[in-house]
Structure 1
Amino acid sequence: MSFLIISTARDPQVWIDALKQQQPDLEIEAYPEVKHPEKVEFVLTWKHPHGAFSQFPNLKVIASMGAGIDHIINDPDIPEGVQITRVIDEQLTEDMAVFVLSLCLEHLRNLSFHHCNRNWEPLPYKRPEDLQVGIMGLGVLGVAAAEKLIRNKFNVNGWRKTRKDILGVNTYYGEDQLEDFLKNSDILVCLLPLTSETENILNRELFQKLPKDAYLINVARGNHLVEEDLLEMIDNGHLSGAGLDVFRQEPLPKDHAFWKHEKIKITPHIASVTNPETVVPQLLDNFRKMKNESPLNNLVSREKEY
C-alpha cells in the first residue's frame, strides 16, 4: 500500500518533505518513478497527465492538492469507483477572502490608476457602502469572501444553484433569479466551481445583464470566462474593467490582449495558494480513513462535478 504524488505544475518534493515530517514511515513515490503500480492506492495530484490513473489497478482515492478538482474531473479515463477529494483549508479560505476584498478596494479607490497612467489628477471614488457586490458561488470560499466584504461595509448579494441562507447576504438561487442577481451587482465576483454547466458562463449575454460600469473579478477558473466577450464589453463601455487571477492558458501568453489593456488587472493565479504544511494533516487523515474503510472528508460528487 503506497502513497503516490502526480504533479506536473508543483514541485512534489515539497509535498514529500511535508508528508514525511508528519509521518516518517509513510511509503511515498513521485510519478513517473513508480516501482510497484499495483501497490498504489492513494494519489495526491495537481494537473496530472490524462490517463495516468489507469496505470494503477488498485487505486482507491485521488486527492487534489487544492480546492479545485476540475483538473481531475476533466480526465475521461478516471477509473470507476475511485473516490475524489479536495482541500478545504482555513488558511486557503482566508487568503481567498482577503484577495477578493483587496481587488474590490483597488477598484473602488483606483489604487493603481495614477502610477500606471502617470496621471496626478485625482479621480472621484466610491465607498464600500455605495456599491453592491455580487458573488457567484456560495461554497466555502464564496461564503468566506462574503463575510469578509460585509465586515468591511460592502453590501453583498450571492447567487448559487440551490437555496442557501447566509447571515447578512441577500441570496439568489437558480436560473430564475440569476437576472435579478446580476442587475444588482456593481462588482461581480466569480467563485463558482468549474463544471460543464458553468464553463463559459461569463459571457456577453451575462455581462449585458449587469449594470453599466460594472466590474468583473474572476478568481475561480479561466474557463468560466469568454475572453473575447469581456474585451468587447469593456471596449464598448458597458463594463468598467476587470481583475483577473485565472486564465484559460497559464502562464498567460506574453502577447495576450489582456496584458495591453489598461482596464484589466492581471495577477498570476495567486489568490490563494495551498500551503502543504497546513494541508498534510487532512491528507494523512484521509489516507488512514481509506485504509480503515471509513468515510472520507471533503469528498467530491462526480455527478455534480464539485
Structure 2
Amino acid sequence: MAMSFLYKSDPVRGALWAERFAQHMPELPFRIWPDTGDTLDVRYLAAWEPPPDLATHYPNLEVLFSTGAGIDQFDFSSIPENLPVVRMVESGIVNGMVEYVTLAVLSLHRDWHTYRQQQQEGRWQTHRVYPASSRRVGVLGLGVLGRAVLERLGSFGFPSAGWSRSPQQIDGVECHAGPDGLQAFLERTDILICLLPLTDSTCGILSQSLFDQLPRGACLINVGRGAHLVQDDLLKALEAGQLSRAVLDVCEPEPLPPGHAFWTHPQVALTPHIASMTQPETAADAVLDNLRRHQQGLPLIGLVDRTRGY
C-alpha cells in the first residue's frame, strides 16, 4: 500500500522540510497542506494544529508529530486514543531556549534593566555587583529544556535547583519534587524560571500563593506558557515588592491587547514568544530520525504520555 508524509504548518518551513526529506528519505512522498494527495496514503502527519476528524479522513495514520515543543494546542478529544503523539525535541529548540534564559538571568543578575531605565532618565548611578554564587536560580520543570538551562547557568556559578512532578537526579543541581518539595524549592530561589508544560495541574501555578513563598525581591522568568501566570497576581506582587522584576516571553492572550499593563510596566520585560523556535532543518532531521525508529520498532523520542499531558 502507498504511504506518504503530510506537513500542515508554516509552508515556508515546510519547503525546507521537503528538501531534507528528499535528501534523506526520498522513498517517502512528502506533501504540504492543503495538497494532501490520497488521504488513505497518509501514514505520518506533522502539524501545529491537526485537521479535524483524523480517524475519518486519515484512517491509516500511524504517528502524529507536533511541529513545536508543546502539545497544549492539540485537542486530544479529537485525536484517536491509540494514535501515538510526538512532541518536537530538537537541538534548535534547546539551544534557543538556553540562549534566551541565559540572557534573561544575566540581565536580571547584572541589573541590566535598571541601567537601561537610568540611561533613559539621563542618570549615572552605579550599583553593587554581586557574584553569581550569591544568586540562586531555580527552574520549574526538569525536562530536556530545563536540564539544558540548568547546565548552562551552573557554568556561571549560579547555585541551581530544579522542581519537577516526579523525583529527578541531576549532577550539581538541588532537585525537589512533588507538592511536598515545592515550598523548599521556592524559599531558596532568587530567580525563578518557569519551563513547565501546560497541563490542568500547572495552569495558573504562577500565582500569589507561589510568589509569597519566594524570597522578597525575587525575579520571575516565564518561558513556559502564558496560562501558567495569573497576571493580576504578578502585578500585585511587583507593586508590593514581593517580586522585583519579571521577564515574560509568553502571555495569555497573544498578542496582549492594547493598553495592557505589561506593555509599559517599568518592572516587566516583554518579548513576543520568541525565546525558542524550531529550526526547520534540525526539526526535519529529528522527525526523520523518529521515522527510522518507528520503522525499526524502537521507542520514539518525545512520545507524549497522555495521562500526564506531556
Structure-2-length-normalised TM-score: 0.90
Measure how far apart 1:4 and its partner are. 0.8
The 1:11/1:90 distance shift into structure 2, 3 A limit, reads closer
Identical aligned residues as a percent? 39
Q: Quote the RMSD (CA, aligned, Å).
A: 2.1
The 1:27/1:252 distance shift into structure 2, 3 A limit, reads farther
Equivalent pair of 1:7/1:48 in contact (CA under 8 Å): no
SS in 1 for 2:77: coil
- 1:173 pairs, out of 159, 166, 177, with 177
Matched letter for residue 154 of structure 2: I
Whether 1:141 and 2:137 are equivalent positions in the alignment is no
Whether 1:63 and 2:96 are equivalent positions in the alignment is no
1:19 corresponds in structure 2 to 21
Q: Gaps (5+ residues) in structure 2?
A: none
Equivalent pair of 1:98/1:148 in contact (CA under 8 Å): no
Whether 1:30 and 2:32 are equivalent positions in the alignment is yes
1:81 corresponds in structure 2 to 82
The 1:172/1:293 distance shift into structure 2, 3 A limit, reads closer
1:237 corresponds in structure 2 to 241
Measure how far apart 1:53 and its partner are. 3.0
Whether 1:219 and 2:223 are equivalent positions in the alignment is yes
Q: Gaps (5+ residues) in structure 1?
A: none
Equivalent pair of 1:3/1:41 in contact (CA under 8 Å): yes
Cα distance between partner residues in 2 of 1:146 and 1:213: 22
2:196 corresponds in structure 1 to 192
Measure how far apart 1:194 and its partner are. 1.3
Whether 1:271 and 2:275 are equivalent positions in the alignment is yes
Matched letter for residue 281 of structure 1: D
Measure how far apart 1:293 and its partner are. 4.9
Length, aligned pairs only: 304
Equivalent pair of 1:251/1:268 in contact (CA under 8 Å): yes
2:126 corresponds in structure 1 to 122
Larger deviation, residues 82-91 vs 218-227: 82-91
The 1:129/1:69 distance shift into structure 2, 3 A limit, reads same
Cα distance between partner residues in 2 of 1:13 and 1:257: 39
Measure how far apart 1:140 and its partner are. 1.2
Measure how far apart 1:14 and its partner are. 3.4
Cα distance between partner residues in 2 of 1:160 and 1:103: 21
The 1:16/1:240 distance shift into structure 2, 3 A limit, reads same
Cα distance between partner residues in 2 of 1:9 and 1:68: 19
Equivalent pair of 2:6/2:33 in contact (CA under 8 Å): yes
